[in-house]
Structure 1
Amino acid sequence: MPISSDDLAALSRTSLDDYLKNTPVDQVTQDQPFINRLLQGKKPFGGAKQYIKENIRKSHDSNFKWTYGEEKITFKKRDTVEQTEFPWRRCVDSIYRSDDELFSNGIRVVRGDGGKVRLEKNEKVQLIDQLNEDQLTLRTGFFEQLNLHCLRDGTSSPDAIVGLDGIVTLTPTTGTLGNIDRATAKYWRNTAVTAIAPADLVDKMEYAWRQCVRYAGGQAPDFILAGADFIDAYRKCLTLTQNVDAGRVKRLDASTGEGNKTGLFFKGKEIIWDPTFDVLDDLDKPETKWAKRCYFLNMRNISWREDGYDIFSPDAPHDTLCLYTAVSMRCVLSCNRANSHAVLALA
């Protein structure tokens, strides 16, 4: 038996909804470690006119002085608070499949008086199999692109959110972040150490780490993300000492780590390899390659907010017989302490 166009749209929405629920977004594959970490700490996003706003302390504006005897005490009205503004945006992804494509696979779609037709059980299974590939690629493609834009600086589109490259920038003394001018607001600058020679790598990492701790109230970065070239350079700085046991068969392995977990640590935090960095190098051809970068991030001071997933099937145009399915989400990435992060890059 055929299926009505309304039932087909409902089935498509349900199929995609099941994909999103049954494969939790917090477990996005490990080859997308940045968005995976963001989504683990996601915050609810109820709504805002245009911006997510956060109050930050820009200084103590102290009026401290020494006095003696009848020295006058001076009083000062303090100006210690600034407000950030990060615009939220909506991201969408979508697919369509024509009625004739479905018909060629044994599924006839009826658009007139559709309430009187229903699929048999075996036909429904056949249709679900047909839709599953579309829904799987829609879901994975959606998060693949979202991950890329969460890493970029937000200039790839006027409607894109500000990503990691905008929050922890290679040029922290220029531009604005959250509507605060970094050229004048020294407190709003991350640490950036670039053009590092391999021989100086560990010393520069020590310097950047201390800067992060210094400006984060003693809190050390809790997430280290790096590209392949940086990881290789760091690995070559280390000396591995082998303890020889004459009574046992020896097994030597020159590699460390597993998957995107490198097995390389700095200050007790494992350096995570992000293969997306190589993708961005191929797509954007930046002056400073992503593969040469390393990020010291304090994830307590970076927030991901979203309003969840809206899954819908728009009506087909009057002159087109197709099934349309889309997923939509409003989101924003914000920062409330820019100087608690650092980026390093090899020469």
Structure 2
Amino acid sequence: MPISTADLQYLGKTTLDEFMRNAPVDQVSVDTPLLKKLMERRKTFLGAKQNVVVNIRKSHDSNFAWAYGEAPVSFNKRQTTDQAAFPWRRAVDGFYISHDTLFGNGIKVREGERREYKVEKNEKVQLLDLLNEQMEAFRIGFNEKLSLELHRDGTASADAVTGLDSLIALNPATGIVGGIDRSIATYWRNNAATGIASTSAGALATAMEAQWRKCIRNGGSPDFILAGSSFIDAYRQYAVTVTNNTNAGKVKRIDAGVGSGTSTGLYFKGVEIIWDPQFEALDALDSPTTPWEKRCYFINSKFMEFRDDDLDIVSPTRPYNILALYQMINMRVALVLKRANAHAVLSIA
């Protein structure tokens, strides 16, 4: 038996909803570690004119002084807060399956209302198998592309979200982030160390130590370290010394390939260094002066948030002259920086 266009559209939407609804929170692929980490503190936002606005403390304006006897006390008018505004952007994706493709898979589509035709059990299995394959590829592709764009600086398109490359910048003394001019607002600059001579004895570890202390001075220890292949290789080769005296004199098994997947098994200050496979794709895409593969980010996730308005699953009405099932998703997103100097970026020469 055929399936009606209304039933097909309903089935397509419910299948897509099943695949996508909780995917950004619970089912993010392990090869997108930045997105996975951001989703741990994901927050939703309601309708906003064009920006997600956060209040930030820019100073304490302390008027502390010593006094004795009748020495006058000085008073000052304090303005300790400011607002940072991050424009949200709409991420969209969509696909279609032609009715001829469905027919080639044993599913005949007829114009009609819901329940006008009854699909046989074997036909429904074939249809769900086809939809599942389409939805799985759609979900993985959307997540990977969203993660990739959250790395970039937002200049590739007027409609692109401002990402990691801008929020934690290699040159933090320039640019406007969240509406605040970093050339003036020194408190709004992240920490950075570039051109580190990684092959010199102790240089890499010393630079990492210095940047870590700067982050601690401004909000606590980073809890997420993200790095590219070249940086990780340099850290493993020149900054890590392994000593093993346990059960001296007995045969031991030593594996130089520590870690698994994106988990490197390498740590700094007790925080594991996570390898980001997308750094290579970013280098190929943007050819930056400082390659992503040579970078390392110290991130304090308390002060960086992913905001979105949740997924909107849509089944558009097909054009009058095209026989196909159309499916799409919308999601408005913003990457919000709440404190700049709690983060750092390093790069090796």
CA offsets 1:125-144 (integer angstroms, 9 cap, x no match): 11111111111111111101
Paired position in structure 2 for 1:311: 313
Deviates more, 1:244-253 or 1:286-295: 244-253
Whole-angstrom CA distance in 1 between matches of 2:316 and 2:114? 17
Counterpart AA for 1:333: L
Deviation at 1:26, TM superposition (A): 2.7
Q: Secondary structure at the match of 1:211?
A: helix
Paired position in structure 2 for 1:55: 55
Whole-angstrom CA distance in 2 between matches of 1:38 and 1:312? 25
Paired position in structure 2 for 1:167: 167
Alignment CA distance shift 1:118-1:151 (3 Å): same
- Please tell me the root mean square deviation across aligned C-alpha atoms, in Å: 1.7
Deviation at 1:70, TM superposition (A): 4.3
Deviates more, 1:246-255 or 1:175-184: 246-255
Alignment CA distance shift 1:297-1:24 (3 Å): closer
Alignment CA distance shift 1:23-1:155 (3 Å): closer
1:337 aligns with 2:336: no
Paired position in structure 1 for 2:4: 4
Deviates more, 1:70-79 or 1:269-278: 70-79
Deviates more, 1:89-98 or 1:251-260: 251-260
- Runs of 5+ consecutive residues of structure 1 not aligned to the other structure: none
CA offsets 1:239-262 (integer angstroms, 9 cap, x no match): 212326467443221221121111
CA offsets 1:320-347 (integer angstroms, 9 cap, x no match): 1111001111111101100000000011
Deviation at 1:102, TM superposition (A): 1.3
1:1-347 to structure 2, matched below 5 A, reads: 1-21=1-21, 25-112=25-112, 115-198=115-198, 199=200, 200-216=203-219, 219-236=220-237, 237-243=239-245, 245=247, 248-347=250-349
Whole-angstrom CA distance in 1 between matches of 2:259 and 2:118? 53
Q: Secondary structure at the match of 1:280?
A: helix
Counterpart AA for 1:205: M
Counterpart AA for 2:305: S
Whole-angstrom CA distance in 1 between matches of 2:134 and 2:14? 13
Q: Report if aligned partners of 2:175, 2:183 keep a CA contact under 8 Å in 1.
A: yes
Q: Secondary structure at the match of 1:338?
A: coil
Whole-angstrom CA distance in 1 between matches of 2:179 and 2:22? 39
Alignment CA distance shift 1:22-1:168 (3 Å): closer
Deviation at 1:210, TM superposition (A): 0.6
CA offsets 1:273-308 (integer angstroms, 9 cap, x no match): 111111111111111000000000000001111121
Identity %: 54
Counterpart AA for 1:104: G
CA offsets 1:12-39 (integer angstroms, 9 cap, x no match): 1111112235767433122111100111
Whole-angstrom CA distance in 2 between matches of 1:77 and 1:264? 49
Q: Secondary structure at the match of 1:126?
A: helix
Question: Aligned pairs, how many?
Answer: 345
Q: Secondary structure at the match of 1:295?
A: strand
Q: Report if aligned partners of 2:149, 2:163 keep a CA contact under 8 Å in 1.
A: yes
Deviates more, 1:265-274 or 1:37-46: 37-46
Whole-angstrom CA distance in 1 between matches of 2:139 and 2:248? 54
Deviation at 1:67, TM superposition (A): 4.1
Whole-angstrom CA distance in 2 between matches of 1:24 and 1:342? 26
Q: Secondary structure at the match of 2:195?
A: strand
Alignment CA distance shift 1:278-1:79 (3 Å): same
Deviates more, 1:333-342 or 1:131-140: 131-140
Q: Secondary structure at the match of 1:272?
A: strand
Counterpart AA for 2:91: C
TM-score (norm 2): 0.94
Whole-angstrom CA distance in 2 between matches of 1:66 and 1:143? 57
Q: Secondary structure at the match of 1:97?
A: strand
Alignment CA distance shift 1:193-1:155 (3 Å): same
Alignment CA distance shift 1:264-1:26 (3 Å): same
Whole-angstrom CA distance in 1 between matches of 2:21 and 2:52? 27
Counterpart AA for 1:326: M
- Runs of 5+ consecutive residues of structure 2 not aligned to the other structure: none
TM-score (norm 1): 0.95
